[in-house]
Amino acid sequence: MSDVAAGNPEPAQDISDNEYLLQLGVEPRFKRALGFFTGSLFAVAFQGPTTGALLITGATVALGGPAFIWAIPIIFALQLLLATSWAELSSHYPLTGGIYQWASRLGGDFLGWMTGLFYVFAIVLVMPAVGQVVGIVLSGLFTSLKLTTATTVVISIITTVLAAIIMATSVRFVSILNSIGVVLELAVLLVAAVGLLFHQHQSVSVLGNTGGVQGHGSYFWPFLVVVALVVTQLVGFETAGAFAEETNKARIKPSQAIIAGLAGTAIVLFIFDFALLLAIPGVKSAMTNPNLIPSVLTAALGSGFAKLFLAGALVAVFSTAIATLATIVRMIYGMARNQQLPGSAFLTRLSGGTTEPLGTIVVAGVLSILPLIFIKKVPVIVASITALIIIPYILVLASVFWRRLQGWPRERAQFNLGRWGMPVTVAALVWTVVILLDAAWPRTVTNPKLGPLPVIEDLGIGLIVVGLLWWFFVLRHRSRTPAGARAESVIRR
């Protein structure tokens, strides 16, 4: 089937971004206030290098020894397959909602609906996790603050509400705040790395030390566990594409930002972890220290610098909260615009002054707070976030593979893979299936049991059931205005 027959005409490349949107059947409504730099920093903020380091590094050292660090370049190289794939899709379909839109345009409404459902649910679970990290950082800055379930819930709610208030201003203001926060975050991580390099206790050979986690067997198996954890720090870079309708030069800048967001996060993480491991006093002590980063920073650089690091971490984690909530808002808006959610008219109504969807921001904030009802289970459920994001990845890549077999794309986008398109798609699809199997393997660290089944299976089956019920009883009978007709009506106005 051709793209035109599927309702996805391939617009010409020498027209403006707004004219391009019209040919895709979308009326331009957002202000274009973002560029390559701000888009890249949104992608970095969503991945949250500081948030991930505070949550993950202690566990990865404990489970894989210092040799865990080699998971970062390996995963980065393989995630580049995804980044280039998303970059090409964003260039073809520079629409609010990113990955949901790509799935919908390539695979139809049903595939788009299931992709959006899984993706939104996954990133909604990110917000309580971010709130918990805010609590951890605050307790490090203010030792009198004792973290209990109640205080963690309150801190998470305050974090979400503040992020929602900032989101309601304008995308330009949000991008400025986010950019300042991420630049500060990267600067603090790199300065800390430089400082740690002047306080080495280990030689570079420590990076090959497994800590004996493999026992008498192969290191391959504990390394798989490490991969399942480390990959959580290098997903979500495609969020740069979710803001395409608010980006100048939307058919190329978000594509570049997707790749830059992944590369920037991976490079900074590797440098920081490299310096951290050289500064640990001993491998065994590091592997049993749940507060590894603050402890090493304090021992090497003093409590003053450790406090400074935590202050920078607070700003960084809040930037992650803003970027995460902003992505939730864009995903919900994109789905509502396609009439796939209840209250679509309310969710797509933009503020006259800021052109922000205020109703969607409120809904996204409420959805982000709801998981806190199950606060005792949130740390466990967070382990499933990666798998819930990988499932949409697989759905989109499978649709890309199928469409490539049919001759897609028939016209080159500004960012394109050319003859490498099919090999990259196949390799990316295989890699995402491997990640899913690894993350979903029944194990206490990444996929523990909350009920009769491990948590990923519980949540995955539940979402499939909900998605199918909503599709067959509501969406299947709902007609949508053809893209061409919508574009023609906009042009006539």
Per residue in 305-360, pLDDT tens?
888 888 888 888 888 899 999 999 999 999 999 999 999 999 999 887 788 899 99
465 or 488, greater pLDDT: 465
Instruction: Quote the pLDDT of residue 487.
Output: 30
> Rounded mean pLDDT of 226-252?
92
| Distance from the first to the final alpha carbon of the chain | 31
Q: 465 lies in a domain?
A: yes
Q: What is the pLDDT of residues 268-286, one digit of tens each?
A: 999 999 999 999 999 999 9
| Across 80-89, 135-144, 463-472, least confident range | 135-144
Whether the pLDDT of residue 462 is over 80: the answer is yes
Count the domains in the chain.
1
Tell me what percent of the residues of the chain surpass a pLDDT of 70.
92
Instruction: Quote the pLDDT of residue 374.
Output: 63
Instruction: Quote the pLDDT of residue 408.
Output: 92
Q: What is the pLDDT of residues 156-214, one digit of tens each?
A: 899 999 999 998 988 888 888 889 989 988 998 999 999 999 999 999 999 999 999 99
Tell me what percent of the residues of the chain surpass a pLDDT of 90.
56
Q: Which of 324, 345, 325, 328 is nearest to 336 (CA)?
A: 345
Q: What is the pLDDT of residues 372-411, one digit of tens each?
A: 776 555 556 666 788 889 999 999 999 999 999 999 998 8
pLDDT band at 224 (very low <50, low <70, confident <90, very high): very high
| Residue 238 CB-half CA count within 13 A | 33
pLDDT band at 1 (very low <50, low <70, confident <90, very high): very low
Q: 212 lies in a domain?
A: yes
Tracing tokens 């617009």 back to the chain, one arrives at 11
pLDDT band at 484 (very low <50, low <70, confident <90, very high): very low
**Structural domain that includes position 313:** 32-479
Q: To the nearest whole number, what is the mean pLDDT of the chain?
A: 87
Instruction: Quote the pLDDT of residue 7.
Output: 44
* CATH number of the domain residue 370 falls in: 1.20.1740.10
CA angle 472, 478, 479 (to 5 degrees): 140
How many whole angstroms separate alpha carbon 65 and alpha carbon 209? 6
Q: 365 lies in a domain?
A: yes
Q: 378 lies in a domain?
A: yes
Instruction: Quote the pLDDT of residue 379.
Output: 53
What pTM does this model have?
0.91
Q: 10 lies in a domain?
A: no
Q: 12 lies in a domain?
A: no
Whether the pLDDT of residue 297 is over 60: the answer is yes
pLDDT band at 480 (very low <50, low <70, confident <90, very high): low
> Rounded mean pLDDT of 53-74?
91
Q: 79 lies in a domain?
A: yes
> Rounded mean pLDDT of 404-420?
92
Instruction: Quote the pLDDT of residue 193.
Output: 94
Query: Which residues does 258 contact at the CB level (< 8 Å), separation at least 6?
Result: 43, 83, 86, 87, 90, 237, 238, 240, 241
Q: 37 lies in a domain?
A: yes
Instruction: Quote the pLDDT of residue 383.
Output: 61
451 or 228, greater pLDDT: 228
